[in-house]
Amino acid sequence: MRGGYRAALGNVAGAQADYDRLIALQDRPYARFLRANLAAKVGDPARALSDYDRAIEAQPWNDQFYRGRALARAALGRADEALSDAEFLVAQRPQWPPSWHARAVALLAVGRPEAALADLERALQMSQENAYFWSARAEAYERLGDPARPAADRSMAEKVAEEKAGCGSCSSPFD
């Protein structure tokens, strides 16, 4: 719990130390997931990936682990693997807007911006409270060569981030 609080307060080193200690005491999949999310949130998808892999290896049915791994794989250029994880997630949790975001990110990574845009539209129909949905849709529009819509979506992402400043999961898919 303390690691989560520390991460939420921006104390990355403290959260990292807590998660490392937790794993040293009892290596559990959820502890790996928490540490992976922290690494991904601070921009270290390579470090995150090993913990996501270990968590999924231990509990392949636990769909909450797949979003982070899909996003980490996409960030590392492992687009086909990212898409595989995201497809699994969408099949398991189609009612969860972040599932569609994860698949959209993977679709962008494999060069399919039209399909990514459709998934982001679906995510935004379900929830407009996640700034990163708007940012991803701006990227999809950019890749499609739309000159006007990316700026509007980036503006909306900033507005949502400001309005939801106290909501970690609204600004980062790793919270």
* Tens digit of each residue's pLDDT (9 = 90 or more) over 41-93: 999 999 999 999 999 999 999 999 999 999 999 999 999 999 999 999 999 99
Per-residue pLDDT tens digits for 25-34: 999 999 999 9
Amino acid at 72: A
Instruction: Calculate the average pLDDT of the chain.
Output: 95
- The pLDDT score that the predictor gives to residue 142 is 96
Same domain, 55 and 69: no
Q: Sign of torsion, CA 133 136 138 143?
A: negative
Same domain, 67 and 38: no
Same domain, 157 and 82: yes
Q: What is the pLDDT averaged over residues 134-161?
A: 95
Q: Please, where are the H alpha helices in the chain?
A: 2-8, 12-25, 29-41, 45-58, 64-75, 79-92, 97-109, 113-126, 131-143, 149-163, 168-171
Burial class for 86, CB neighbours closer than 10 Å (0-12, 13-18, 19+): buried
Domain with residue 111: its CATH number is: 1.25.40.10
Counting residues of the chain whose pLDDT is more than 90, the rounded percentage is 87
Same domain, 96 and 163: yes
Burial class for 137, CB neighbours closer than 10 Å (0-12, 13-18, 19+): buried
Domain with residue 27: its CATH number is: 1.25.40
Same domain, 74 and 154: yes
pLDDT bracket for residue 165 (50, 70, 90): confident
Q: Does residue 171 surpass a pLDDT of 90?
A: no
Centre a 10 Å sphere on the Cβ of residue 68 and count the other Cβ atoms it contains: 26
Counting residues of the chain whose pLDDT is more than 70, the rounded percentage is 100
Q: Which domain holds residue 101?
A: 63-175
Contact yes or no for 51/33 (Cβ under 8 A): yes
Same domain, 114 and 94: yes
Q: Does residue 168 surpass a pLDDT of 90?
A: no
Angle at 162 between CA 15 and CA 42, to 5 degrees: 30
Please tell me the total count of domains within the chain. 2
Same domain, 70 and 143: yes
